[in-house]
Amino acid sequence: MSYLWTGNTYDHSPNPEFASFCGVFWAFPQSIEGFPHCKPLIVVDSKDLNGKYPMKLMIASGFDADNCYFPLAFAFTKEVSSDSWRWFLSGIKVTQRKELCLISSLDPDILAVINEPGSLWKEPWAYHRFCLDHLSSQFDDVFQSSRLKSLMKQAGLAIQQDEFDFHMETIEKENPETRRWLDKIPPHQWALAHDGGRSYGDMTMNIEKYICESLPSPGLPVTAVTLLLFDEIRMNFHQVLSDSRRRLNQGDMYTKHVIDELEEFRTASVTYVVMPLDNNEFKVTEPLQKDGWIVQLSKCTCTCGEFQKNKISCVHALTVCEKLKINPLQYVDNCYSLELLYRTYSAKFNPVPEVSAWPEVSGVPTLLPPAIPPPTHNKFPCLHTLAVCEKLKINPLQYVDNYCSLERLDRTYSAKFNPVPEVSGWPEASGVPTLFPPVIPPPPPPPTHVSGMSKRKTTPRTSQKKS
């Protein structure tokens, strides 16, 4: 873990003799070795960590051949800004891959870094796309309409151009202002119909959920989060590697994601009719229907758009393959191969020594905690933190606030008390007159009642007219 210091950032304030921790960037070597075998796709996001010193966890993740998140790089930082995103993205040295696609939110700080001169995160080196969930959330904040939000997401997820145009026209009819708002964002950055297959059909990201499943508590200390992430990644590598090795020995060629997709399509392809056309094309229609879809297996295309988007045979291409009695797996993109999945997770993990055994790093000043006021919640580890400490075999008492120490309790009650003499032995006070008790009026006497008299409620008389 000594290589983590290379990603340290710090400043010499407020104490010039020391340095205040600002952030640290790292990528595990196993992730660096495995990413070249993943899809050319990266998603970036950030998450709040509400520990003793509130920090931000910045995350970069890829997608493996089984379409699962693959952890690539992490960073802790005091705040998320254009400077921190520039620092984080500059540490991800993967832009040498061709046709790399980056998915992010519409954060102005991220946009400023990606679009600045000299950036390698824009075309022609990379392609930038927006997360549809983040876009729809921002859209809803502006217009506050669940109906328009649903239409906007349908437009973003539409595969065919005419379907996208239909939803956009519906949006314009209901509220022209929303159409003008969406037109300010290039459609190829948020709509699958204009994506060109760069995002492999993934226009949404949910890294925060993936991280929440790995971290049982968002209030863990920085060191504990780092060690826990390492341990979770190590176990995940071992599990996927064992499963992919077993399936390779069985003779499988593609991942479970592909097999499940084709099996789902196979149940729906029974009702289609296939007609051969010229130029190795086939027309697939439903019974008693004239309109259909044109499939060209040699180019891996279908007019439905699913073939190009997912790079897996769509339901219409699968129907043609069954008609011709050929294996549809030959038209699946190589990025889904089981061999690549095995290579992705084949890196070895060495055991991490105890924190006390880590070597001292030279060239780095003493780092004080970040200049952030501590939160007002509990100053001692919660049950989740205790569970993590037991798993990592570290002492949880090191995360207890110093105000809870036994030494402070002893100091709090360390003042001595001298015995108080009898009142008769007190010295006479000079300059103070004789003080009498305060003049307080006596309480009123209790009310008296005449014996034999009963209380009776009286009501006022009303005059009556004689009839």
What pLDDT is attached to residue 368? 63
Asked if the model's pLDDT at residue 358 lies above 90, the reply is no
Please state the domain extents for the chain.
Answer: 2-239, 256-336
Whether 130 shows a pLDDT value over 50: the answer reads: yes
pLDDT of 370 above 80: no
Per-residue pLDDT at 222: 75
Nearest to residue 381, comparing CAs of 393, 394, 368, 398?
398
Question: Is residue 2 scored above 80 in pLDDT?
Answer: no
Res 445: pLDDT: 77
Left (φ > 0), alpha (ψ -120 to 50) or beta: where does 26 sit?
Answer: beta
pTM: 0.73
Buried b / exposed e over 123-151, threshold 16 CB at 10 Å, is eeebbbbbbbebbbeebeeebeeeebbeb
Structural element, H or E, at residue 225: helix 222-249
**Cis before 381? omega within 30:** no
Q: pLDDT for 381-408, tens place per residue?
A: 666 566 666 666 667 776 676 666 777 7
Predicted confidence (pLDDT) per residue in 102-125, tens digit: 999 999 999 999 999 988 888 888
Instruction: Return the minimum-mean-pLDDT range out of 96-100, 223-227, 373-377.
Output: 373-377
Q: Which has the closest alpha carbon to 187: 166, 206, 168?
A: 168
Judge contact between 127 and 114, C-beta under 8 A.
no
